[in-house]
Structure 1
C-alpha cells in the first residue's frame, strides 16, 4: 500500500528512460519499492501512485485510504511522466512517536485522543471504530481556537497555583520553625528548674525538634522544587504554543496542544499531591511530674502539634432525592476460580479500572468497567478483606488471617506483590487520606491510624465504641466506621474522638463516601443500600430489594454505584451490580 510522503526510489523505471517495451509499461509503484514488478491495474489520485491489482483492492479497504479517488486501468494515466512524484515528507512533521521512536507522528485518532505514527495506525487503530485523520487535513482549525486559548489559560492557572502554594508553604514553614525555636527556649527555661540529670533528656528533645525542622525544610524544598519544575515546564510549553500560534504553524501547534493537555493533567496531579504537606506549629508542654518523679520519667515533655491550616467546618450535607437506574452487571468469576466469588472490598482507581478483593478465591482482581471483564488476577494465598489506593499505582489490602497489610503494585494494568506491613491484630477495613492509613480491627475491636511505614500514630478502642468494625472510610474532616455487631456507623474526628453515630440498621457492612460528603452503606440484613448524611444526622434508603449487598464503591465522574452480593448463590455472588444515581 502506498504511504503518503515517500519519495520515488532512484531505481524506479519511468517514461524518462524509454529504451524498451518494458520501459513503456506502467508498473505498480508500491511494489517497486520492495517487491516484484507488477503491471499497474489502477491509479490513486490522492496518493498519485499506480497500483497493481492487489494493492488496488487493499487500497479500497484500508482505513486511511478507503475514501481516496481511484481510477481503473482504462482511466488511469498511462505513463509516470503524466503524474507528479510524491512530495517529500512535510518539514512540519518532526516529533517522533513515543512508542515507535524511528517513526514520525503524522496522524490523530479522534476516538482515543491520541497522536499516532503510521505504525500505530496499522497495529492499533485499524478498526472501524477509530476515526483517524491525517494531521494537515484537520490542523488548520487550531489557530486562535478555543482549545488554544483554554490550554494557555489552564497553564496560567497551574502556574498561579504553584506560585501561591510555594508562598503559602514558605510562610507556614517559617511559622512552624519559629514555633520550634520558641519550644527550644521553653525547654531551656524549664531546664533551669531541674538538675543535671535532665541533660540527656534535653538533648533528646532538641534532637526531636531539629528532626521536625529538618523534615519541614525538606518538605519545603520538595514543594518549591516541584512548583519550580512545573512552572518552568509550563512556561516552556506556553512559549512554544504562543510562538507556533503567532507564526501560524498549525501542524506543530496542533501536536503541541495535544501534548500540553497531558502535561496539564500530570502537573495538576503533582500540584494536588502537594496538599499532603500539612505543616504543624508546635508548643512545649512541660511534664510537671518530672519535678518530683524525675528518676521514673523517660521524657522531658511532648511536642503538641497544631496545624497552621484553617480548620474545615464539619460537613452538613442534606440527602437529596436521587433517580436510580440499573446499568447492568459485571461477571467477576474466571476459569481459575475454584469457588463462588465473595467480593469483600472494592476501590476504583479510575472510572475504567476497578480493584476488588475475592475472599472465597483468595485473590485480588482488576476489572475493566468498559469491557466489563477481569483483566488481571493476583493470588494471595490467604483471604483478603478490603482494598484501598495509596498512590495512583499502589494498593493496600488487608489480610486479617495473617495480621498483615499487603502492598500491591497496579502499574501497566498488572497486579504484583510488593512489601507487607505487619500490624498487631486481624485487620479488616482500610482507608487512606493525607499520608495516613486508617485500619479497623477485631479481637480486640479498635481503630488505628498508621503512617505508610506501619507505625501506629493513634489507637481508638472501647466496648462502648466498637464491637465488630469491618469497614472504614475517610475524608479530611471525618472517619466513618461500619460496625456489624453494634449496628451503627460511627463518625470520629482525626484525633479519634467520637463526634457522631447513625443507627437503625440490621447489619451494616461495606461503606463508601460520595463526592458530596454523604456515606453509602450496604445493609444485607434489609437488602438495601442506605445513604447517610456526612454528620450522621439522617439517612435514606436509595436502593432496595437487593440480594445481600456486601461491598460498595462510588464513582463521582460517572455517578455510578458498584456493589457486590453475598447470597451463597452463583447467580448473584459472581457479579457486580452497577446502578446510576442522579
Structure 2
C-alpha cells in the first residue's frame, strides 16, 4: 500500500519567487530529490518520470506476487482435498479458456491494439488517487502498442505453459521488466502525462542558483578548463571573466544580459532567468507556445497556428492567460476551502482516533477490574464455603467426640461390672453373692431405665451442589463489549445494549420430551395450523388459524372445549394468538375481524375491543401492570389495553432516528411484526418477518437491541415463528422453515439451538411456557410437544 500523503497546513500565504525556491516545492514528493522531468498527474501531484515508471512496475510486481501466493495456497488446498486425477480436467479447461482468449485476440489484431494495455491504471503514491494513462493511437500505434502487447502475449503464454493461475487476460501483470519494456512504459508515461513546466522551470532555477563551480563553455572548446564566473541569460552559456568581456564586445551578443555568479546566488536575476524560459510546442520543441486555439483548447506555437489551426479561433497566450487566471484563482480558492473542510474533518477523525484509544484503555481497565473483583468475590465465597464446612463439620465432630467418650466410658464401666459379677458367680460365697445382688440389680435397673445420650439419631451429610458453571454465565458476570455504530451527532439518543442481570440456568442438551399429542378436533374441516399457544393452570389453549377456533386441552391431552364457533361477535374469523388472564379469561386476536375477543373457560363470549386495530397479531399480558399489549402487523405499532375494562391505554409507534451529515430522518423499527412477549423487566420482545428478526423495545417502545438475520446458519432464521420468554428472561423463538427452536439471553443474543429436526421437530410455528416451566411447541399439522429444558 502506498504511503499516506502528508497533511499540509491549510493556512496559505503568497510567497516571493526567492522564498518559493527555498521550499520543498522543487522536490519530488516520492523520491524526495529535485525534480527530473516532472510529470503532472490527474490529482495535480507532480512526480519525476522515473518515479511514475517505478510505481507502475512495483505495483505490477506486487500484484503478481499476491496472485501467485493465492494460487499456491489454492493449489495446496486442492492437493489436500482432491486427487490428481480430478485436477486434470480443471487444468485442461483453464488452458483451453486461455488459448481461446488468445486466439480471439490474435484473430483480430486491430481490435487487440484498441484494448487497454496492462498497467494503464495506477495509484498516485502520495494520495492514492487513481491515474489513467491515456493512449495516443496516432503516435504510438505502431511504435509502442504492438511491442508492448506482443511482449504481454509472450508473458501470458509463458504463464500458461508454466501452469500459473491468473484471473483475467485484461488484467495480466508481468513478473519482470526488461530494459526494452521499461523503455516502452516510460514512453507510454511521457506521452500520456503532461509535463509540469512550471515546476521544471523552478527546479532548473533552483539548480542554477546552487551550482558552486562551473567551467567556461568557450574555453572548453579550446581544450582549456577555466572556472566560469558569469552566465549569459540569452545564450544560456557559462563564461569566464575574459570570455564574458569578449562576449559583451561582440556585435551579435553585446546586447545580451549577463549575470554574474554572486548575483545569481543572491537571487538578483531570478525573474530575468524565469522570463527567458518558455513552454515548448508539442510538435516544434524549439518554438515557444504563444497562441491558444479556443476551438481545440490547445496551446501551440506560431507555426502550428498558421498551418493546422489557421481556420480556428486563435488568440495570444497573454490575453488568454489573463482570462484563465481568474478561473485558476477561483479553483484555487475552492481547493483551499475544501482543504480547510478536510482539515477540520481530519481533526475530527484524529479526535475520534484518540477517543478510541482512550476508550480502549478505559474498557480494558474496566474488564481487568471486573475480572479482579470476580476473582476476589470467588475467593471470598470459596473461603466462606470452606469456613461454613469447617464450622459445621467441627460442631459435628465435637458432638461425635462427646458421644464417643460417653460410649467408651459406659462400655468400660459395663465391662468392669460384667467381670466382677462373672468372678462372683464363679468363686463367690453365698453371703457375698447375696450382698452384691442388690447393687447389681440397682445398676441394671438404672441402665435399663435411663435415656441414652450416646445414640446417633441423625447424622450430618455434607453435599456440594455446584452452580451453573457455564461460559454463558461467565459472560454474564464479566459483561459484554458493545461495538455498535451510531450516527454522528446522535450520541444523546444512543442506548447501550441491555445487560443480562441474572444468571441463566443450565439448559439440558438434549431436552427431555415429556408429552406429545395432536390438537385435532371433530369439528376440524382443514389441516390444523396452530399459530398461538397459551397455558394457564393446567389448561392449554391452541389457536388453530386454519379451522378458525381456539381449542382447550387439559394435561392428559383431552379436548375440553372449542371456542370461536359461535355467531356474531362470538365467531372467530382468522384467529392468530391468545393469552390467559389471571382469572382464566382468554383473549384472542382476530386478524380479519381487526379486534381482540375475550372468552371464559367454558367458551362463553364476554366482549371484544378494537381500539384503532387493523390487523392484530401477537398478544401478551403484562402481569405487573394489568395490561395487554397487541401488535398490529399492518400499522406497525403496539396498542396497550386495560386488561379488566378493555379500554385502550395508549399506542406506541416505534421509530428509529438517524442523524448524519446534518440530515435527520425517521424510520419504522417494525416492518412486518408478528409475535410479542413481555420479559421480566417489562421489555417487549418482538419477532419481525424483516431482518433483524428479533427486536427488543423498552416499555416506551425505544429500541434496545436487535438480532438474528435471514439464513440457515446457526444464528439465523429462515422464517421466524412464535416466541416466548421464561421466568429467567430466556428468549425462545421458533424457526419454522429450518425446523428448530433457538434459545437466547434476555438481551436478544441467541446462544444455542434447543431442539432441531433431529429431536423430531418439524415446522414449529408457536411456543409457550407451561406452569411447570416446560417448553410447549406447536407444529404445522397440529402436533404439540412439551419438553423439559432445565
Bigger RCO (CA 8 Å, 6+ sep): 1
Structure with greater strand percent: 1
Larger Rg: 2
Q: If the length of structure 2 is used for normalisation, what is the TM-score?
A: 0.32
Structure with greater helix percent: 2
Q: If the length of structure 1 is used for normalisation, what is the TM-score?
A: 0.43
